[in-house]
Every structure is written in C-alpha cells, then in structure tokens.
Chains A and B, each alone.
Chain A
Amino acid sequence: MVGTAVVGRNVVADDLEEARLQRAFVAGDERALETLYRDVSPLVYSLALRSLASQAEAEDVTQQTFVAAWRARASYDHRRGALRGWVVGIARRKIADAQAARSRESTRLTSLFAAAPAAADEPGERIDEMLLAHEIDMLGDPRRVIMALAFYEGATHEQISRDLGLPLGTVKSHIRRSLLTLRSRLEAADVAS
C-alpha cells in the first residue's frame, strides 16, 4: 500500500450514483441498505461460500455483514472509499471471525482426538482475487470488455483496438483509467478491514 493520497478520480455518473447511495445510507434510509444489499450481497455471499465452503455459514456471514454495516453506518466515511468496498471489508472480518471460530473448534477436537484436521486454506488471497475479478466486472462497458481482453485473454492493445474498432489511444486510456479505478476500489476494501 502506498501512502500517497488517491484522489482525482473522474467524476462519472457512477460516482454520483454512489454519492447518493452513501448519503441516503448514512442518513438511515433503509431503502439504501436494500440497494446496497442487492448490489453487493452476491459478492459477499460468494466470498463467504468460497472461503467457508458451507452454505449455512455463508448465509450467516452475509447476514452479519449487512446488519453490522447498517449499525455502523454513522462511522462510514466516504473519503475512505466506496461503500461497496467498505462492506466487503466488513465481510472480510466476519469471514475471518467464522474461520477463527472454526479453528478454535478444531483445536478442541484435536485435543480430543490427537489427529489434527486439515488447516483452513489461505482465505485472504482468494478473497482478493475474487474481489479484483468482480471489480473488473463492475467497470462497465467498454472498460470491462477491454480489461477482459487485455488481462484474461492476454490480447495486445493493438489487437483490442482492431477487434473493437476503437482508436489505440482510446483503448490505452481506458486501461489506464480502469487500473486507477481498481486501485481505489480495492483500497476501500483494504482500509475497512
């Protein structure tokens, strides 16, 4: 993490939408929570499901995450990043809590049955990976398509330019801006955790 301030993001329609949601959420508008839930719960639930491999626990974590976010809404500070990232940060803590509870449980079992159960897999990295892929998905077109071609398919900028019929400079500019957007979105999730 670099200590430089990340400001100067472009003010685009998405940001305005986000600003409205933030303010309504902080003001205690339950509809804002519902909007946020519809937007982020698939990510939170999938992260939990992937990390905990238990539907019941993933449902619990999802519920706890949004209830905790709602109760802490007054402490949300928009200057530290998007609401979505903040919620993901809370989800991360809840997932870690669930894993810690599980490992306490397994320690207890170990003392009873000498054989240690398999350690839980490294959750942090997998969450980061999923979050990053999701944020790329959330970039909106054409950036999402461009990023998918550039990063998942390994296409060169020239190929993308040809395939999409966009000037090379435009393709590059989209990729640069996308990287910066991803950086600030991911920072929000980091700061919150």
Chain B
Amino acid sequence: MSHLDDELLAGAAIGDALSEEASAHLATCTECAAALDELHALAGRARAAGRPGPLEVPPQRVWDAIAAEISQDASATEPARRPRRTWLVAAVAATAGIAIGGLGVTLWASRENPTTVVASAEIVLLSDDTPVGTAKVLRAADGSEQLVLDGSLSAVDGADLEVWLIDPNIEGMVSLGFLTPDAKSFAIPAGYAVADFPIVDVSVEPRDGLPTHSGDSVARGVLEKDAAAT
C-alpha cells in the first residue's frame, strides 16, 4: 500500500488505533515510522513544554531603530530624487538577452505640456536587489497619469518584458504593456490610483498568448509619493 497519510499518522501519534493494514505498512516502512516518531515526539514536547508564560512586547524604540535603519538603506541606494537621469545597467538573471537601452524618455523635455512627478520608485532585480532603474508617475494637467521607466533591463530571447501595477495584497493587478526600447512610458488606466496599486512589477512573459501574469517577475519597486508633489 502507499504511504500513510499525515492525518492517519497524527491520529496514531495521539493514540488512535490503526487498522491492521496500516499497522502492517508501518512495520515495514521506515519513512512512515520516522514520521510517526516525529509526531509522537512533538506531542511529547507539547506536554512537557507546559502552558507558556506571557510574551513580552519590546519597547517602541526597537521598532523606531529598525525603521530608521531601513530608511537609511533606502536612501543610500535610491537615486530617484536626483535631478539628473541616472543610468543603471544590469543583466537579468545572467540570461543572454537583448539589451533594452535607449530609454531616452523625454521626461523633462516637454515643458510646454507640464507634468508633475507624483510618485517614484526604485526598481531592483528580485534576484539580488541590484538597482536597475527608476519608475516615475507623471500627472498631466488634465489629471491623466503615466508611468515612466528609466533605466535598463534585458529581456530573454523569445520572451517579452511586461510592466504591471499591483496592489499591496498582490490580489489586484493591471498590465500597462510591454517594455521595449520604444515603449518606456505607459498610460495608467483611470481608476488605478497609484496609492492603491503601488507595486511596479516587471515580468518575463513567454509568447504563449496568455494575457495573465506569468508569475515570473524579474524586477520590482514600490512607488512612493514624491515629496515634491503637492
């Protein structure tokens, strides 16, 4: 017979009787016997551990220190607020790829059509946190918003890079389109407030015709409201 299922083993560990067939299996299967021993030991430890004392909550200053340390991390690696464009080059996952360079998006050039940077994010590779660029949300005078990616990413052959906005619960997401050398700027559909969908995600999408997220994210960043925005 096949291995005993977990519930059966857990039952045996707390004294439930086993069927003859199950007992026979247990007698010959070291794997199931070891699993039973482990559960048995766990039950024994729970008995020995006794009722726990109350846990102590660390003083507030501990969290404050953590938050301070983390925000230092962020500002040390965040090029987002520099007035000039920063070029960061990185290869994704060591796969041979088409370098997507020339992200020369005319962020600041079109002065006659004033836009405000309302949020920005540093985009880092999920594999090792290497910064690979920045994302900015620009709001035009008419209220429409665009996500502009600045930096450099490489795509694997035979696949595309797709840009998404995702909510903090990773439940809702919207595709903004494919990232190509010619498309670095994406209209954010009305109704997708950046505050509600703050995660910028870049995924590798195989050319399989499926419109959903492949689950293969390569880079991410979390948009934060720009201090300068009013």
Contact = CB atoms under 8 A, between A and B. Distances in A.
A162 interface: no
Contacts of A176: 7, 10-11, 14
B56 A45 contact: yes
Contacts of B61: 59
Given A176-B10, A179-B43, A129 B49 contact: yes
Contact of A182 (B42, B59, B62, B69): B42
Interface stretch (B93-101, B105-113, B139-147, B165-173): B165-173
B170 A24 contact: yes
B41 to A, nearest CB: 10
A134 B168 contact: no
A110 B112 CA distance: 76
Contacts of A37: 63, 66
Given A24-B169, A179-B42, A2 B34 contact: yes
Contacts of B42: 132, 179, 182-183, 186
B182 interface: no
- Identify which of A6, A133, A137, A179 gathers the most chain B CB atoms within 10 Å of its CB: A179
Interface in B19-64: 31, 34-35, 38-39, 42-43, 45-52, 55-59, 61-63
Q: Which 6 A-B pairs have the closest CB atoms?
A: A133-B52, A176-B10, A42-B55, A45-B58, A23-B170, A151-B46
